[in-house]
Amino acid sequence: MIEFLENLSYIERLFVLLSISLIVWNIEVIYAFKPISDKRKHLFENIKFITLGIPAQLVMGSVLNLSLEFNDKNLFGLIEWFSIKNNWINLIVSFLLLDFFEYIYHIFMHKFRPFWVFHLVHHSEQKLDISTILREHPIETIIRLSFTTLWVLITGVHFWMYVVRQLIQVISNLLAHGNFRLTNNADKIVSLLFVTPNMHHVHHHFKLPHTDSNYGDVLSIWDRLFGTYKKINANHLVFGIDTEMCANKIYDFKTIIMLPFKHLNSKPETINTNE
Ligand SMILES: [Zn+2]
Ligand SMILES: [Zn+2]
C-alpha cells in the first residue's frame, strides 16, 4: 500500500478528488439545505479565488514537497522519536498530530488579527456549498501552506502518510462545506469523532460566538476536548460574516480580494464581530 501511495501522482490524486467532488455536487443538488439559485455561477465565482492563488500554490507546494522529501531522507521529527515500528499505528499517530496542528492553525487564523483579515474572505461566503473550499485569499494560501510545512517538519510525516491525510482531508472538507445536513440523530453519532456539515455550518454562522467555534479540520475531538464545540438550531443559521453583511452588501470579486487590506488599515474595533 505504501508503494502504491508513494507512486500516486498529483494528476491521479486530482482525478480521485474531482470524481468525488462531482458525486458530492449531485448530492447537494438533490438534498440542498439552502438552495442556491445559480450553482454554476456561484462555482465560477469561487474558482476565481483558487485561480488567483495558483502561483502561491505552486511556490508553497514546492516548499512543502521539499519538506516531505527531507523527512523521507532524514528520518526526522516526532514520528521518528516515538519510533513506532507498525506502519498502521504510524499512520494513525501522524494523522492525529497533523489534525491537531490544523485545529491550532485554524484558531490562529481567527484570533490573530493580521491572519483573520485574510481568513474572513472564506467566511464572507453567504451561500455555503462545496465550492466554498476554493474560496481562499492567496495570502491565506501562503500562510496555510507555510504552517503545513512547519507541521510536516515537526511531525516528520512521510510522503505516503501525507497523501493519505490529504485525500481524507479534502473529502472531509468537501462534505463539511456541503449544502446538505445529517439528521440530528446521525449527526450526534458521526460528530463524536468527525467534523460533520452540521458542525461546520455553525462555524460559518455570521455572528460570534459561533464563528469562533468548531475549528476542527477532519476530527471533532479537539473541539470537544478544548471546549470550542458549539451547536445551533438549523433554522437560525445565517452564513457569512456580520461586518460584511450590513445592508445586504453584495461584493464583486475585486472588492472581496481587497477586503483584508481595507481592514488592516482600519481600527480593530470596527472589524470586531462581537455582538
Ligand atoms: Zn474559520
Ligand atoms: Zn469553512
Distance 7 CA to ligand 2 centre (A): 30
**pLDDT digits (tens), the chain, 275 positions:** 777 776 777 787 777 778 887 887 778 777 777 777 788 888 899 999 999 999 999 999 999 989 998 888 887 788 888 877 888 898 999 999 999 999 999 999 999 999 999 999 999 988 889 899 999 999 999 999 999 999 999 999 988 889 889 889 999 999 999 988 999 999 999 999 999 999 999 999 998 888 899 999 999 999 999 999 999 988 898 898 888 766 556 678 888 899 899 888 776 654 445 43
Distance 137 CA to ligand 2 centre (A): 13
Distance 191 CA to ligand 1 centre (A): 18
Distance 173 CA to ligand 2 centre (A): 8
Please give the tally of structural domains in the chain: 1
Q: Of the ligands numbered here, which is closest to the C-alpha atom of 200?
A: 2
Give CA 112 to chain center in angstroms. 17
Cβ–Cβ under 8 Å, residues 118 and 263: no
The one-letter amino acid at 63 = V
Distance 86 CA to ligand 2 centre (A): 34
Q: Of the ligands numbered here, which is closest to the C-alpha atom of 128?
A: 2
Rounded CA-CA distance 187/195 in Å is 9
Quick one: three-class SS letters along 153-214?
HHHCCCHHHHHHHHHHHHHHHHHHCCCCCCCHHHHHHHCCCECCHHHHHHHCECCCCCCCCC
Query: Which range marks the domain in which residue 122 is found?
Result: 2-271
Grid cell for residue 239:
452564513
Chain segment 188-230, per-residue pLDDT in tens: 999 999 999 999 999 999 988 888 999 999 999 999 999 999 9
Grid cell for residue 208:
460570534
Distance 71 CA to ligand 2 centre (A): 30
Distance 132 CA to ligand 2 centre (A): 7
